[in-house]
Amino acid sequence: MTSTFRLFATVTASTKRSPTISSGKRGVATTSIASLRCTPLDPLDPEIRQTLTLNTPFEALMCYTEGGLDILEGDILTVSGTDYPIRAVGEWYWPIDGTNTCYLVLEDLKT
């Protein structure tokens, strides 16, 4: 992670991944990445929301993390003990110093 991106990636998070379905049942999600740095969770830009055709009742959030990590759509990002299902993962170019990062579109499930 480059120094300029690190200045913005101030949140510590982890990811979980559900195991494959076996005998018609899915097991409990387990830790996939124990620790990673990301930017603070922000509301999803309306333009991106429309591009992804997210017409859903939950609040959509987004953040950025370093590129090259094993993060997939359907994983769960955990920040400060709260789980956020990952709806989309995409590559993004960090323009300040040319770093490859990725953006995560998250669900903020309201209970």
CATH number for position 21: 2.40.10.270
pLDDT band at 54 (very low <50, low <70, confident <90, very high): low
**pTM (two decimals):** 0.82
Out of 7-11, 72-76, 78-82, 91-95, pick the least confident.
91-95
pLDDT-above-70 percentage for the chain: 83
Provide the greatest CA pair distance for the chain.
49
Centre a 10 Å sphere on the Cβ of residue 94 and count the other Cβ atoms it contains.
Answer: 18
Domain count, the chain: 1
Q: Residue 33 has which token pair?
A: 């990445």
- Identify the domain containing residue 29 by its residue range: 3-108
